[in-house]
Chains A and B, each alone.
Chain A
Amino acid sequence: MSRTLTAMADSTPGGYGSEPGPRPAPGPYISAVTNRTTNLVIRGAMLFSVGVFLALVLNLLQVQRNVTLFPPDVISSIFSSAWWVPPCCGTASALIGLLYPCIDSRLGEPHRFKREWSSVMRCVAVFVGINHASAKVDFANNVQLSLTLAALSVGLWWSFDRSRSGFSLGVVIALLATLATQLLVYNGVFQYTSPDFLYIRSWLPCIFFAGVITMGNIGRQLALYEHKVALEKTHQD
């Protein structure tokens, strides 16, 4: 189960933004930030670390589901997944987080809905909550589970995103990620430990979707932030 979950998490990068981006320190720092490539690298690195962190934590949440009272080694269960899972999550989250603002600017419709860090935090919290619920709550059957999760994910989108591009991108990425996981399973890279095969499959896309929305939210916020810095700089000039 844990492996499946972490495998799933590799494209459910959540954003945990307790580090609210680079602080606007005056001086050479701003120029570094406003430099486009540096900016990209910084954002990518932050998103990557956020993704890795969330992958580890959410993995732990899933491991807990059948943890016993005295697991033989608690700490090691954090890293119980394969080594390549957290980096994959990180990379995926960085990609998504950079993709969202990019697509916004390409489409020419900048995202204006609730652009503030508190809203992003709320989004992340809800995402973790969805994961928590899927891990902790006992559902009667898989249909119920997947329906609930789907409703929650769409609710997440409605509450924090509300952009058509965000929705479509989320759906596409979620489907692709589910497909990729399935392919990996068929190729035997890893396998589901849980006997009810349908169980995993029923909620993977929802979690993926929620993760994509969350990550996109963080990415947009970061981009907005650096956009602001750049604006200020031009203003000063």
Chain B
Amino acid sequence: MTLRERLRQKISAAFYHHGLLCASYPVPIILFTSASILTCCYPLLRLPLPGTGPVEFTTAVRGYASPSHNPLGDPVERPDWYRGPPVAYIQQVLVKAAVSPWGSNLLPVDAFRPPLGQVFTLLEEIRNHVHSDSSGVQSLEHLCLQVTDLLPGLRRMQTVLPEHGCLLVSPGNYWQNQQELFDSDPDLLKTVQKHEPKGLHTSATLRDLLFGVPGKHTGVSHYSKKRVVTYTITIALSTYDAGFLGSLRARLKQLHPSANCSLGEEHMVHVHFKEEIGIAELIPLVTTYIILFAYIYFSTRKIDMVKSKWGLALAAVVTVLSSLLMSVGLCTLFGLTPTLNGGEIFPYLVVVIGLENVLVLTKSVVSTPVDLEVKLRIAQGLSNESWSIMKNMATELCIILIGYFTLVPAIQEFCLFAVVGLVSDFFLQMFFFTTVLSIDIRRMELADLNRRLPAEAGLPPPKPGPLRPREAPPPPRPSPHTITLQTPAFRNLRLPKRLRVVYFLARTRLAQRIIMVGTVIWIGILVYTDPAGLRTYLAAQVSEQSHLGDPGGGGGQPPHLGGMAPVFPGGDPAKALSVLPAREATPLPENQSQRHLAPGRVQEQPRGPPAATQVPWGAEDEEGWRRLSFRHWPSLFSYYNITLAKRYISILPVIPVTLHLGPQEAPETPRHPQDARLPPDPIPKFSSPDLQAADLTLYKVAALGLAAGVLLVLLLFCLYRVLCPRNYGQNGVSHGRRRRGDLPCDDYGYSPPVSEISPLLLRGHSMDIECLASDGMLLASCCLAGQIRVWDAQTGDYYSPQRGASWDGAGGACDPESLGCEGRDPCVGGDSASEDEGGGFPFRRHAPPLRPPLFTDQPDLTPLIDTNFDSRLPPSSVHAAPPRGAAFDYGGLVERAYTEHEPPSRSPVEAPDRGFACGPPPAAEWEGSVWAMELRGNLIAAGRSSGKLQLWDAVEGSLRCSNEEGASGITALAFLNNRIVAARLDGSLDFFTVELNKPPGLLQYRGAPGRGSMPPSPCYSSDDLISCQLTRSVLCAHQKPITVLRAAAGRVVTGSQDHTVRVYRLDDSCCLFTLQGHSGAITAIYIDETMVLASGGQDGAICLWDVLTGSRVSHVYGHRGDVTSLVCTNTCVISSGLDDLICIWDRSTGIKLYSIQQEVGCGDSLGVISDSLLVTGGQGCVSFWDLNFGDLLQTVYLGQTSDGQGVRQLLVLDNAAIVCDFGSELSLVYVPSVLEKLD
């Protein structure tokens, strides 16, 4: 036990040091590992490439003996398959026969009927050939490969293929090797054609098998121009008897000498065939691979809590794969050649080696304390798991060793690979993967660090470079009128990870490119190494070049012949050049030496040359079998159920036979009567219709294939259209405000679903809008100029901007300086007094019957509406600084309208009449701008910088009450039930109560408006007398100015610059808790009716609190710089910061789900419409997001020409409308589709 403990400690210590090492020097270690992987994989280069093509090996005929099973001598020279006797020796007798000279009395049939007829005599000769020497008498019957039945599926071939005897095939088989049948055959071609399979066949056809040369080279057709018939007699021998073959060769040559033939007889070629993979073998293989991928998938899915999950998963897979490669490489290096099928055992090897260790490592490292240094984390994680890793490894090695002692060769080999693989896998895990993990962890920490740094702490992370946070670079400001939703980095941020990966792949076409390149390389290598391929061709070319350079050989050669000469090995150049049978290249001039003349057109040469030159022999005849399909021999043998897979055949040098048939002999061979009826040769110099026919079939097939392809594409397209009715990639209907090119996801070909959302623009403010407040029915806005306007939130379209019920409530209106400096246009403020609004609202809010009396009672106000702009603008622009301010209030205006029943003349006249708030205009007395505003019922509470709290009637625009008890500016207001809470700049908190006093009777509405701070006299349209009393004032609520104030659920929560949050009870203004936890001023607070309290501070931290106990629930660092706004939903917290990021956090765990990059300056404009819909503002637009996935749903552009004004404030109304400021305008956006979605 103690030993075990000690061992354990030692191992743990070793791992600890190793982890330190890895994390300290990541780059050198990765380089070292890569180098060692490459070194170990180097021996793999010598292994053959996977492919099913046959492999060849050439030996000399002379002194050939069948190789023994146990190779001795140098193994380098012989391939390892070259052991034991071959399946068969193939002896081909290549017959070229021509009728020459061609007589005019000959029919086209005569070109091949007599030559074919000769096959029977040749066959006779071969069959009867007997060679006798000292060892005895040898005949073909003894030596040839005896075959039995054909496969049962090949009954129809029974008549043509030999059964129960020698495997000897020739064209004579078509006629059962009987001359009589041949003679009585009316149409030879038809007989030949009869056995051809229908359709397109890639493998060997019967015609190829019997003729032994490719179909188009046989010359058996009516239109053959050469009139040379070529065919072979193929004999399969089971034993090699040099004497017999030699005598057969000599005999045939003697009988039919080939004068110009110089085919080599020195080499025999052994062809080794690989195993062909059938479907039956493929299915289990595919199954194992699917299981393998499922295993890898389920394993890598467990990697978590790291910076780049995919990167680590890739590293894990790379570790396993390269360890396998290393194991194979090492085994080959030490002389153990793999005999198992690599593709088959590979999945099992991966499974045996496994990804477990890697996952365990990751998990262990990730679970170490986060605040440690990276090095130490890695080291600790490693040493924590060291014991289990070692134990597992030992167990696996034991199991494999047990497998090794089963003494079954295949299993032993597997185990050997597995052991080496395990060891190298361990090595790679320790060096490669650990290092990658340390890099990853470091990246994550840096990212965390950046996130945590407060804004003032400076941006640059300790290590710049690739570790820069993704959200770092602010996108360049777009020019006005173009809305670009920024830079790929920005886009990446809000897409889910899986989509990002997919998009990345799609964008770069990475997978396709890799596959393509791989395929091209593979094909290239195959082509290069193919025995009939490029290499031989190149070699031939080189030798050819050397011939041309030889002055004695091809000196007088026309250069084009040399260039176009086919492949042939070095030999006598003269002979080689006489060999271009198929060439119809430029006919050589007559004065060319006869020697060089290519006798391509036999019939054109009248009589002169001797017959010997008429039948061309060339280098390509020497190994004519190469032109056959590489499945020629396997298919021939497979008919007799002999497989060539993993075996080889030996092809002996061909025996050339030349037959010359004089024109007088040709007719002697009995013609069939029907031959004469065949049409005469149709103009031979036209093109050969036979070839044409072949070409035509090719064309037909190609055309059919093309048509089928087009049809398929069309079909798929239709299917796609049916299944995906949305037009993703299309430009679709061009849309007024939407510009597709600017949509955030456009370069992925996806544009969000189009639905008509048209924002309503509410115009009227002259300056930028500062405050927004709404109670669901009404909407109040206040601009920098101090104007307050009220809109109907329900029917945004109800108010045209000109007719909107707006009024100027600015106390500063009376101040001439402020007027001038604020550039306020009084006419804009006083433009309208629509009684629809004035009356309509109360009507809707109160009882319907009220309406008629209201309206009948009222004077005609329409003149107020239309006249003001035309008439007022000039004066207003002129009068920059009238003594008493040009502004007037709507209430006063209306009153005047009521009194005078005429449009009032403006500023100078009204000046004394107006202005409840201000007396004469000393600058010190101005009321200040509106800093906070709240709207409840139809009362607007406005807090001013001067410390004044004013209550306005939203409908009538009259000041109902004003309270000046505080001197310090009101920074925040909360209006709940009948309470108003005002937070002041000096940190005090005032609680007001609004009391509604029923007046005894309806007072005259012409009562003089109150002046100064006195509550206004009873109003005409309101029943209530409103008073606002300070109930309690908490003087030192905070040490520093209160920045945020929120009230809900009977609580008032304040946040201040003194880093604390306080919770008060609304009823008795008693301080319940002081919440401490921020290290900066509080900038944002969220509380709702469910008592969720969240606060954000200048330090970028977000805290969630339990309002009941005052304890901190969670604490996250979310932003660089201030947190500007906070919203909670049931499941998540949404925060925005000065860094223009919107972060979405999981509420329960405090984990950041994702973040959205906002436009510069629009950081805090966000709202939540429902639990799943987020609205954010942008440059001249608002965007809707799916909160659960971070997908952009839609972007709505606010202006026709979005001039790049940012949406800085955004308010969500109850009816799923949103209001946002848009420069000096307000925009009311209804979200009908969203409503549908919510339903």
Contact = CB atoms under 8 A, between A and B. Distances in A.
B354 A148 contact: no
A219 to B, nearest CB: 17
A125 B295 contact: yes
Interface in A98-117: 116-117
A122 B284 contact: no
A71 B152 contact: no
B688 interface: no
Contacts of B701: none
Tell which of A69, A137, A159 has the most Cβ of chain B within 10 Å. A69
A57 interface: yes
A126 B351 contact: yes
Contact of A70 (B283, B354, B638): B638
Contacts of A63: 280
B351 A122 contact: yes
Interface string B277-311: 01111011001101110110011011000000000
B288 A69 contact: no
Contacts of A60: 280, 283-284
A42 B290 CA distance: 23
A147 interface: yes
A interface SS class: helix
Contact of A68 (B292, B298, B402, B641): B641
A128 B291 contact: yes
A136 B340 CA distance: 10
Given A20-B298, A75-B279, A151-B406, A68 B643 contact: yes
B295 A118 contact: yes
Interface stretch (B407-415, B843-851, B960-968, B1152-1160): B407-415
A20 B292 CA distance: 14
Interface string A23-42: 00000000000000000000
Contacts of A22: none
Contacts of A58: 284
B644 interface: yes
Contacts of B352: 126
Nearest to B292: A125
A70 B645 CA distance: 10
Contact of A77 (B280, B298, B407): B280
Contact of B295 (A61, A122, A140): A122
A129 B352 CA distance: 10
A74 B279 contact: yes
Contacts of A57: 283-284, 287
Given A122-B354, A129-B348, A137-B411, A148 B406 contact: yes
A132 B354 contact: no
Interface in A67-88: 67-72, 74-75, 77-78
Contact of A69 (B344, B402, B634): B634
A99 to B, nearest CB: 23
A144 B408 contact: yes
Contact of A121 (B152, B295, B348, B411): B295
B399 interface: yes
Contacts of A67: 278, 280-281
Interface residues of B, number: 45
A234 B387 CA distance: 38
Contacts of B287: 16, 57, 128
Given A118-B299, A155-B399, A69 B351 contact: no
Interface string B626-646: 000000001100100101110
A17 B645 CA distance: 35
A140 B407 CA distance: 9
A236 interface: no
Contacts of B275: 69
Contacts of A193: none
Contacts of B301: 118
A234 to B, nearest CB: 17
Contacts of A18: 290-291, 294
A85 B999 CA distance: 95
B459 to A, nearest CB: 41
A140 B408 contact: yes
A80 B474 CA distance: 67
B355 interface: yes
B572 to A, nearest CB: 42
A184 B330 CA distance: 50
A229 interface: no
A138 interface: yes
A132 B348 contact: yes
B411 A125 contact: no
A124 interface: yes
Nearest to A20: B298
Contacts of B299: 118
A70 B279 CA distance: 11
A71 B280 contact: yes
Contacts of A61: 284
B1077 interface: no
Tell which of B275, B295, B355, B641 has the most Cβ of chain A within 10 Å. B295
A138 B410 CA distance: 8
A147 B291 contact: no
A147 to B, nearest CB: 7
Contact of A74 (B280, B408, B635): B280
Contacts of B280: 60, 63-64, 67, 71, 74, 77-78
A97 B356 CA distance: 25
A133 interface: yes
B408 A148 contact: yes
B644 to A, nearest CB: 7
Contacts of A70: 151, 635, 638, 643
A125 B298 contact: no
A199 interface: no
Tell which of A61, A67, A125 has the most Cβ of chain B within 10 Å. A125
Contacts of A64: 280-281, 284
Contacts of B411: 133, 137, 148
Contacts of B407: 140, 144
Interface in B1136-1170: none
A29 B402 CA distance: 48
Given A128-B291, A132-B344, A137 B408 contact: yes
A126 B399 CA distance: 13
A190 interface: no
A74 B291 contact: no
A213 to B, nearest CB: 15
B399 A121 contact: no
B1124 to A, nearest CB: 33
Nearest to B635: A70
Contact of B291 (A121, A133, A139): A121
Contacts of A140: 407-408
B276 interface: yes
Nearest to A140: B408
Interface in B348-399: 348, 351-352, 354-356, 399
Contacts of B152: 72
Given A64-B281, A126-B351, A132-B344, 15 more contacts: A16-B291, A20-B298, A57-B284, A69-B276, A72-B153, A78-B280, A116-B298, A117-B294, A118-B356, A122-B351, A124-B291, A126-B348, A139-B408, A152-B403, A155-B399
Interface of A: 16-18, 20, 57-58, 60-61, 63-64, 67-72, 74-75, 77-78, 116-118, 120-122, 124-126, 128-129, 132-133, 136-140, 144, 147-148, 151-152, 155, 159
17 contacts: A18-B291, A57-B287, A60-B280, A64-B284, A69-B634, A70-B635, A71-B278, A72-B151, A72-B152, A118-B298, A120-B298, A121-B294, A125-B295, A129-B288, A137-B410, A139-B408, A144-B406
Interface of B: 151-153, 275-276, 278-281, 283-284, 287-288, 290-292, 294-295, 298-299, 301-302, 344, 347-348, 351-352, 354-356, 399, 402-403, 406-408, 410-411, 634-635, 638, 641, 643-645
Q: Please provide the 8 A-B residue pairs with the shortest distance between their CB atoms, ordered closest to farther.
A: A121-B295, A69-B643, A118-B298, A117-B298, A118-B299, A125-B351, A137-B410, A129-B348
